[in-house]
């Protein structure tokens, strides 16, 4: 009985939307006009996320600056600039808080996994060092 009631509660989601032909064609016209601009904004977002992820641990000056610029852009809450992070997210239909949380979590996981990495020092093997040879065969 409860399964039947639950399915009835969601039947409105499966009903088709009614759209007038004038609404449909107006949306298509708007889409074709905005398509190049939207592709540009998508490319901006992809580049920023790519710089954020790719250059997170960069040691050279140029790559580190790309990361810092991307991180600053993502953190900035100023909506005055048309291409501000929050405006770009709104234009693409992305939740700003969700995007920031995801990117910050990615950074935290990357730093945590980097901090937990083990450094192993290898010593040169000497000829006739049977204890060293035994240790290597046991660990393999």
The string of pLDDT tens digits covering residues 79-89 is 999 999 999 99
Confidence (pLDDT) at 83? 93
Whether 67 is in a domain gets the answer yes
Confidence (pLDDT) at 136? 55
Domain that holds residue 93: 17-109
pLDDT (average), residues 99-112: 91
Q: Do 52 and 71 contact (CB within 8 A), yes or no?
A: yes
Whether 61 is in a domain gets the answer yes
User: Average pLDDT over the chain, rounded to whole?
Assistant: 78
CB proximity list for 83: less than 8 A, separation 6 or greater: 41, 44
Whether 42 is in a domain gets the answer yes
The residue with greater pLDDT, 1 or 30, is 30
Q: CA 28 → CA 19, 21, 31, 37, 39, distances in Å?
A: 13, 11, 5, 15, 16
Q: Do 67 and 51 contact (CB within 8 A), yes or no?
A: yes
Whether 95 is in a domain gets the answer yes
Whether 6 is in a domain gets the answer no
Whether 36 is in a domain gets the answer yes
Domain count, the chain: 1
Whether 31 is in a domain gets the answer yes
Whether 11 is in a domain gets the answer no
């Amino acid at each position: 009985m409860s399964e039947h009631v639950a399915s009835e509660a969601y039947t409105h989601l499966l009903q088709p939307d009614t759209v007038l032909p004038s609404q449909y064609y107006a949306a298509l016209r708007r889409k074709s006009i905005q398509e190049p601009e939207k592709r540009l904004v998508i490319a901006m977002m992809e580049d920023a996320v790519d710089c954020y992820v790719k250059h997170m641990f960069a040691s050279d000056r140029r790559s580190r600056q790309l990361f810092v610029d991307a991180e600053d852009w993502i953190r900035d809450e100023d909506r005055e600039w048309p291409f501000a992070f929050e405006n770009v997210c709104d234009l693409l239909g992305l939740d700003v808080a969700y995007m920031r949380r995801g990117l910050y979590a990615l950074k935290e996981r990357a730093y945590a996994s980097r901090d937990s990495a083990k450094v192993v020092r290898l010593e040169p093997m000497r000829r006739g060092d049977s204890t060293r040879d035994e240790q290597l065969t046991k660990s393999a």
